[in-house]
Amino acid sequence: MATATAFPVDKSLEHPERVLLVGVMLSADYHGAAETRQRLFQAALNEAAELVAASGGEVVDVLSSSRDRAHSALFVGTGKAEELAAAVAAQQIDLVVFNHELTPTQERNLERALQCRVLDRVGLILAIFAQRAQSQEGKLQVELAQLTHLSGRLVRGYGHLQSQRGGIGLKGPGETQLETDRRLIGHKISALQKQLQQVKKQRATRRKSRMNSSLKTFALVGYTNTGKSSLFNRLTKAEVLAKDQLFATLDTTARRLYLSDAASVFITDTVGFVRDLPHKLVAAFAATLEETALADVLLHVVDVSHPEFERQIDDVNTVLAEIKAAEVPQLLVYNKIDKLAQNQQRPGILRAADGTPVAVRISVASGAGLADLRSAMIELALAK
C-alpha cells in the first residue's frame, strides 16, 4: 500500500486554477452597525482572495450571502447551493473555496451538489503552507497538520473526479482511496509526532546554548505580510525570503544582533499569523511557535497602513494567548508609515507613563525610524 507523503508543489499546472470564492456573513460572526459589519465582512473576503492568489489560484468570481446560522448539510442552504452550481458550470470553475471552516459532511455534500472540488479556509491555508515549507522541520509540521485535517475527511465523494490532474489542496497525504486508510494515517501521525518531539529537543538544546550566553531573545511576531522578514533582513543583514505575499515565511530563523557596545541580542523571525489561524496548524507548529513563547521580548510588527490593522493586532494577540505567549512583553513596531498621509509619516518612539518604550513608528522600506527601533531595543535589552 502506498504511504502518505508531504504535499509537494504541483509543477504540472500550466494555468492557474479557476476559483469561485464564497463568503457567508453569519450573524454570530459580525456585530455592530450594518456599515461596520459589511466593512469587516468585505475585509475578510479580500483577505481570502489574497490567500487564493498566494496558493496559485485565480479568483474568477466572488459570491456572498447572509445567514443567521450555517446550514447543517450545505453551509449555504439549498437555494444558494443551486446558484453556486450554476456559476460553476457557466464559468468553468475548477475549485470552490469557502472562506469558512466546513465540516467533512458539508464539504462532501457541496462537492456532490456543485460537481466540483470544494476547499474550506483551513484546507486553503494548509495548501499554502504545503507549497512554502522549505526546511525538513517545516515540512514535518505541515504534513502533521494536513494529515490531522484529512483524517476527518476520508469518506469524500470523488466520483466526479475520476481523472485528477492535481490542484490546490490536492497535493498531499492520500487523496486516492488506497491512500486514505485511517489506520495508515493514524500510524503516520504518530510517527510525525515522534519526529517533531525530536525536533523540539534539538530546538531546546540550541535555545539552552543561547540562554547560557545571557543575551536576551527578541522574537518578531505579527500578522502575515506586515514586513517581519524585511525588518529581520534590515537589522541583521540576512537574506531571509521576504515577499509581498501572505505566508512568505514559514521557517524560523535566528541571528545574533549587535545593537551597541553594551547590548547584543538574539533575534528570531517566525511564521506570520492570520485571522482564524487553524488550530491544527497551531498545534503542528508547536515546536516553532515555542520560540515565541520563550522569548524575552516580542517585536509585534504591524502594517499601520492596513485599514484593519487594529483588528490584526487583536488577531495576533489571540494566537499569542493560545500558544501561552500573552504575558511576554511586547514592543509594537508600526511599520509602513511611508504609505500613510504626509502628515502621519513621523517616525519615533512612543513611551508609557513610566518612560518604557511601548511602540516605535518605522518604515522598513525607507529606513525611517530604524535608529529609533534600535534605541528602544537597547533600552529593553538592558532593562532588569
User: Under CATH, which architecture does the 18-165+178-185 domain have?
Assistant: 3-Layer(aba) Sandwich (3.40)
Q: Is 181 annotated as a binding residue?
A: no
The C-alpha cell that represents 48 in the structure block: 481570502
Give the closest residue to 339 by CA, choosing from 309, 295, 299: 309
Q: Is 296 annotated as a binding residue?
A: no
How many Cα neighbours within 13 Å face the side chain of 7?
Answer: 31
Q: Is 337 annotated as a binding residue?
A: yes
Q: Is 335 annotated as a binding residue?
A: yes
Q: What is the pLDDT of residue 2?
A: 36
What interhelical angle do 136-150 and 182-211 show, nearest 10?
Answer: 140
Q: What is the DSSP string of 130-158?
A: HHH--SHHHHHHHHHHHHHHHTT--S---
* Domains 18-165+178-185 and 201-382 alike in fold: yes
Which SS3 state, helix, strand or coil, does residue 357 take? strand
Q: What is the DSSP string of 276-302?
A: T--HHHHHHTHHHHHHHHT-SEEEEEE
Which SS3 state, helix, strand or coil, does residue 207 take? helix
Q: Is 253 annotated as a binding residue?
A: no
Q: Is 180 annotated as a binding residue?
A: no
Q: Where are the domains of the chain?
A: 18-165+178-185, 201-382
Q: What is the pLDDT of residue 129?
A: 81
Q: Is 363 annotated as a binding residue?
A: no
Q: What is the pLDDT of residue 248?
A: 53
Q: Is 152 annotated as a binding residue?
A: no
Fold designation for 201-382: Rossmann fold (3.40.50)
Residue 88: CB partners within 8 Å, gap ≥ 6? Answer: 20, 96, 114, 115, 116
Q: What is the pLDDT of residue 212?
A: 61
Q: Is 247 annotated as a binding residue?
A: yes
Q: Is 237 annotated as a binding residue?
A: no
Q: Is the pTM of this model over 0.85?
A: no
Q: Is 270 annotated as a binding residue?
A: yes
Q: What is the pLDDT of residue 251?
A: 62
**Average pLDDT per run of 10 along the chain, which is 384 residues long?**
36 71 91 87 90 91 94 94 96 95 92 93 86 76 83 54 51 48 80 84 69 81 90 82 54 84 90 76 71 90 94 91 91 97 92 96 96 97 87
15 CB-contact burial (10 Å; exposed 0-12 / middle 13-18 / buried 19+): exposed
Q: Is 228 annotated as a binding residue?
A: yes
- How would you classify the pairing of strands 263-269 and 117-119? unpaired
